[in-house]
Amino acid sequence: MDQYHIEVLASGDIAKSKEILQRFVTQHTDTFDFTAIYSQWTTIWNGIFKFLRMPCERRAEALHIYPDCLAAIRILSRDKTHLNQTITVEQFDTLLNIANIGGHNENISDSAIVVEALKCLCNLVFQSTSCQMMCLKNAAIDGIVRRLRTYKDANVPYDLQYFDMKLLFLITALNPDVRTKVRDDYHGLTYLVEILDLIIKERSDPNAQHNELSDSQVNLLVEIMKVLFNITVRNETSVATEEEEEIQFRRLAVVLHDLLLCRATTKEKQLELCSNTINLLTNVPTACYSELVIPMHLDSDSSTTSFASVTNLSGIHLFEGHDVTALEILLEFLKCRLENMQKLSIQQELLSPVLTALVKCARCNKLQRQYLRQQVLPPLRDVKTRPEVGEHLRNRLVKLLTTPATQVRDLVADFLFVLCKENVGRMIKYTGYGNAAGLFANRGLVPVRSGSSYSGEYSSNSEDSDTEEYKQMQHSINPVVGCYEPPRPNPLEGMSEEQKEYEAMKLVNLMDQLNRQGLVQPCKIGEDGRPQAVEHILELQDSIPQQQMDQSHET
């Protein structure tokens, strides 16, 4: 844009300026760096806003250039270099008014202009800290929520709803102080959950079991859930009572259950919908996860039907007289994530949400834990293969118990441990002591005796149903590796006592050398069940009498 073009913008000639702005937008459709015009930036920016802030008598005339001005602002705001110094409160409020969410709305009926203004606002809030601070004081939040209330009754275009939610997401993501305000003062949680439910019910045939959501519906649902995620993050400033919060979250859990069962038009959109639903589900309190499982009301003709095992009836998964389809979808999503796991660096991002949700499901109640245990830790039949080897869900999860991604490792350990009713012996049975050692050490549960367990939150009846294969080889199973190992010859056989003592001291010296070099840190088990470092390897002898006593009690 040369000097002549800038002078035309400054002159206020709408017709000529419209042509210049159209050429600018076409030329810079894919431009994100405006270094070439930094010296003219402020002049161009302010010149464009002159048309958006025309006096009332010229407002109707200027309306014809609004789309071109807004498109130019949207493109220029991709480069944040000069935004903080250039943007003013008046200019930001002007965009809010054009978007019909300001204090003095222009009541523009052309939704395309309103959407373009929202796109500009999204760019500005994302790129400019000054604009983020303006949103703490201006009418942006109030305007969005006010329009949000009309979604149910007015025919508001999806694009407009989408960018409303995108702007609200950016404001709540970048300004943590406004989250409680949106949730409590504006009742944002209630309204947003209603909109989610409305979109689900908007499908052309609500009674059709496999009715699909359109791509635009999925996009809008995702943006709404991202806003809900921001405003439901736990904080200490909420003014809602515990009873009010429980009612709100239970309602949210019901809608999330329905969203898990929804279907999109493509696999990519389906994964996106499911992923964001699970992300939001992680903010729901554990007690509310009971809403994910629905009791089935049987007809008199089918009242004798047994639901002791899992039944798949027309896409519905039944277990103990309950519809557990939502839990099955969570497991299928986890399997999909595990199968497509390529890089260690993205394990935490991809696996943490669904693992967190599954841990909460397992802790919620006995029925959910039993179903998940049946799917993840079925009765052992293959006892000749290490637990971490194989393609079943149990194998893949056990393998993650030793991953360097600590958050994923701890979540997997927690999930499997809860499925084992926090019984150390049962955990060793399904995972092997070597894989679960980190969990036991962190919790002070190193099993001095194999029966160590914690069952304070669980029923006393056992859920073990050992298979014949397991019972036959139980005494030959190595608890460290978690599988059967054939007998091996005794390496000390044929040695004299002096030779055995020599080899033992040789081992002690090697361990002491590694200890002095800082390569290993020998430990013994303290009274609290946690490992305690020893200064010298010979201190390990102190624990031998206690171990012998424990073993004599076991026999």
Kindly state the helix (H) or strand (E) to which residue 465 belongs, with its residue range. none
Q: What residue type is assigned to position 206 of the chain?
A: P
Same-domain pairing of 445 and 344: yes
Q: Where are the alpha helices (DSSP H) in 365-476?
A: 366-376, 393-399, 406-419, 424-431, 433-443, 468-473
Kindly state the helix (H) or strand (E) to which residue 159 belongs, with its residue range. helix 158-174
Query: CA dihedral in degrees (46, 48, 53, 55; nearest 10)?
Result: 110
Q: How far apart are CA 166 and CA 222, in angstroms?
A: 10
Q: How many CB atoms lie within 10 A of CB 441?
A: 15
Confidence (pLDDT) at 529: 66
Cα end-to-end distance, the chain, whole Å: 90
Rg (CA), the chain: 32
Residue 288 · residue 249 · CB < 8 Å: yes
Same-domain pairing of 435 and 528: no
Same-domain pairing of 424 and 544: no
Q: How far apart are CA 49 and CA 186, in angstroms?
A: 31
Residue 453 structural domain: 317-484
Residue 426 · residue 420 · CB < 8 Å: yes
Domain end among 455, 484, 513: 484
Q: How far apart are CA 213 and CA 211, in angstroms?
A: 7
Same-domain pairing of 387 and 427: yes
Same-domain pairing of 381 and 460: yes
If one counts the domains in the chain, the total is 2
Asked if the structure places residue 371 within a domain, the reply is yes
Burial of 522 by CB count in 10 Å (0-12 exposed, 13-18 middle, 19+ buried)?
Answer: middle
Same-domain pairing of 377 and 524: no
Asked if the structure places residue 392 within a domain, the reply is yes
Asked if the structure places residue 310 within a domain, the reply is no
Same-domain pairing of 535 and 426: no
Domain end among 436, 459, 484: 484
Instruction: Return phi, psi of residue 139, to 5°.
Output: -95, 15
Confidence (pLDDT) at 335: 93
Asked if the structure places residue 476 within a domain, the reply is yes
Q: How many CB atoms lie within 10 A of CB 351?
A: 22
What per-residue string of b and e applies to 133-168 under the rule 16 or more CB within 10 Å gives b?
A: ebbeebbbbbbbbebbeebeeeeeeebbbbbbbbbb
Confidence (pLDDT) at 11: 82
Asked if the structure places residue 543 within a domain, the reply is yes
Q: What is the pLDDT of residues 405-427, one digit of tens each?
A: 889 999 999 999 999 999 888 88
Confidence (pLDDT) at 526: 73
- What is the value of pTM for the model shown? 0.85
Confidence (pLDDT) at 481: 82
Same-domain pairing of 422 and 467: yes
Mean pLDDT by 10 residues, the chain (555 residues): 81 89 93 88 91 80 92 95 94 96 89 96 96 94 94 88 97 93 93 94 58 92 97 74 88 96 93 96 96 77 44 75 95 91 69 96 95 92 84 92 89 94 89 86 65 54 64 75 79 85 88 82 73 71 55 46
Query: Helix, strand, coil proportions of the chain in percent (round to 5)?
Result: 65, 5, 30
Confidence (pLDDT) at 450: 43
Same-domain pairing of 428 and 531: no
Domain end among 440, 459, 484: 484
Long-range contacts (CB closer than 8 Å, 24 or more residues apart) made by 457-463: 457/363, 457/422, 458/366, 458/421, 458/422, 459/366, 463/370, 463/373, 463/421
Same-domain pairing of 506 and 480: no
Residue 95 · residue 117 · CB < 8 Å: yes
Same-domain pairing of 345 and 412: yes
Residue 394 · residue 334 · CB < 8 Å: no
Same-domain pairing of 467 and 526: no
Confidence (pLDDT) at 303: 40
Asked if the structure places residue 418 within a domain, the reply is yes
Asked if the structure places residue 356 within a domain, the reply is yes
Asked if the structure places residue 133 within a domain, the reply is no
